[in-house]
Homo-oligomer: A and B are copies of this chain.
Amino acid sequence: MRKKIIQEILDNKSKFISGEELSKKLGISRTAVWKHIKSLREEGYNIESVNKKGYRLIEKPDDLLTYDNIYHNLHTKILGKKIIHFDTIDSTNDYAKKIGNEESEGAVIISEEQTKGRGRLGRNWHSNSYEGIWMSIILKPNIVPYKAPFITLIAGASIVEALNKLGVNAKIKWPNDIILNEKKICGILTELSAEIERINHIVLGIGINVKTMEFSQEICDVATSLYKENYIVSRVDIVRNILLEFESLYLEYINNNSKEKVLDICRRHSAIIGKEIYTIRGEEKELVRCLDINEEGNLIIKRNDGSIKEIISGEISIRGIKGYV
Contacts and interface: CB of A to CB of B under 8 A. Distances in A.
Contacts of A313: 196-197
A144 B193 contact: no
Interface residue range, chain A: 20 to 34
A195 to B, nearest CB: 6
A120 interface: yes
A149 interface: yes
B314 A196 contact: yes
Interface stretch (A129-137, A184-192, A207-215, A250-258): A184-192
Contact of A314 (B149, B176, B189, B197): B197
Given A120-B197, A145-B192, A145-B314, 14 more contacts: A144-B314, A144-B315, A146-B146, A148-B196, A189-B195, A190-B195, A190-B196, A191-B193, A191-B195, A192-B196, A195-B314, A196-B314, A197-B313, A197-B314
A160 B193 CA distance: 27
Contacts of A193: 97, 191-193
Contacts of A315: 144
A309 interface: no
A-B pairs with lowest CB-CB distance, top 5: A197-B314, A144-B314, A196-B314, A192-B194, A149-B196
B196 A152 contact: yes
Contacts of A121: 195, 197-198
Contacts of A312: 144, 146
A312 B143 CA distance: 13
B194 A191 contact: yes
A55 to B, nearest CB: 48
Question: Is the contact region of chain A dominated by helix, strand, or loop, or is it mixed?
Answer: mixed
A190 to B, nearest CB: 5
Interface in A39-98: 97
A232 to B, nearest CB: 32
A282 to B, nearest CB: 10
A106 interface: no
A195 B120 contact: yes
A175 interface: yes
A194 B190 CA distance: 8
Nearest to A193: B193
A175 B144 CA distance: 15
A313 B315 CA distance: 20
A197 B121 CA distance: 8
Nearest to A205: B195
A313 B196 CA distance: 7
Interface centre among A192, A195, A198, A317 (most CB of B within 10 A): A195
Interface in A303-322: 312-315, 317
